[in-house]
């Protein structure tokens, strides 16, 4: 209900829909066999920024596109911070959605599928023909340098050795609403696997697929919106000191200090780097003698010296 209160405040101050923040259209309660559920209805949006990074083959998006995307993110953050005193607390690529899909054919609004699917009991609505679902797949180009391949192998060993430690420690990092904090270890593994799949693709197919992805990415509308306010709070009313996904967590939160709207700006800067390069800026892993927070702080220090 706190999330709904925040979303209502956001919608009321953005009547012209220019603030680059998702709109809550409605909410209702649904009684089911497992109790009562609060449901929220949002506007239809497109792919998230992680999909944009995938379409770029983890090599980075052209800088003019990065600037356009970042402009809209900053419009949303300025609105939240300066006008509403709201801190998002979980800014990351998955929580920023384009206003349209990268692939126009994947837009459900253009598919002709009815908004409410018919049930077995609903005989008044004719059954629609079963269509084969197009598998969503990403292929990645193989023209990697020796240094890039070496880096991939190094990452693979690091991820492989720390998976067990990550699973053990993930339970200790809880989000304010009770869900486990989304860690990006799996995403790191996925990036390594994606890049390693390069050698398994034929050069002819690879070029065609890469050019298609690049064209789709170049033609996409770069307007985007901030979403997922499940962990959001006000500057004057905060719910927890444990905020942000690990790779986008600001130093003051890692150190257990007070935080404010600047926490979102730190996450935003990390996203700028990730969009431009295709790689996360900070991705710490614990070792035998060091915990993840210690490794993270050492990364921050080394990057600022």
224 forms beta bridges with 98
98 forms beta bridges with 224
Q: Is 57 a catalytic residue?
A: no
Measure the N-to-C terminal CA separation of the chain; round to a whole number of Å.
44
Find the length of the chain: 305
Among 90, 103, 228, 283, which one carries the catalytic annotation? 90
**Nearest-5° angle of CA 185, CA 139, CA 65?**
80
Q: Which long-range contacts (CB under 8 A, 24 or more apart) does 34-39 make?
A: 38/1, 38/4
Helix (H) or strand (E) holding 27: strand 24-32
Which phi and psi angles does 79 have, rounded to 5°? Answer: -65, -50
Helix (H) or strand (E) holding 137: none
List the catalytic residues: 90
């Amino acid at each position: 209900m706190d999330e709904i209160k925040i979303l209502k405040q956001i919608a009321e101050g953005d009547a012209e829909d220019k603030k680059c923040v998702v709109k809550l259209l409605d909410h209702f309660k649904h009684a089911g066999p497992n109790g009562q559920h609060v449901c929220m209805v949002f506007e239809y949006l497109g792919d998230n920024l992680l999909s944009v990074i995938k379409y770029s083959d983890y090599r980075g998006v052209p800088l003019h596109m990065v600037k356009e995307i970042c402009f809209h993110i900053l419009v949303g953050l300025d609105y939240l911070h300066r006008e509403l005193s709201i801190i998002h607390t979980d800014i990351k690529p998955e929580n920023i959605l384009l206003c349209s899909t990268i692939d126009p054919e994947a837009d459900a609004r253009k598919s002709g599928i009815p908004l409410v699917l018919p049930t077995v009991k609903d005989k008044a609505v004719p059954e629609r023909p079963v269509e084969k679902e197009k598998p969503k797949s990403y292929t990645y180009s193989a023209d990697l340098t020796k240094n890039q391949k070496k880096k991939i192998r190094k990452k693979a060993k690091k991820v492989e050795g720390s998976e067990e430690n990550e699973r053990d420690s993930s339970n200790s990092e809880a989000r304010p609403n009770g869900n486990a904090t989304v860690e990006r270890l799996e995403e790191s593994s996925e990036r390594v696997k994606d890049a390693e799949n390069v050698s398994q693709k034929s050069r002819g197919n690879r070029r065609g697929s890469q050019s298609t992805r690049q064209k789709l990415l170049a033609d996409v509308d770069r307007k985007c919106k901030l979403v997922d306010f499940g962990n959001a709070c006000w500057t004057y009313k905060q719910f927890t000191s444990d905020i942000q996904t690990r790779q986008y967590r600001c130093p003051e939160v890692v150190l257990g200090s007070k935080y404010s709207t600047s926490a979102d700006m730190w996450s935003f800067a990390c996203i700028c780097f990730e969009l431009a390069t295709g790689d996360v800026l900070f991705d710490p892993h614990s070792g035998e003698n060091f915990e993840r927070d210690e490794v993270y702080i050492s990364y921050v220090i080394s990057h600022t010296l």
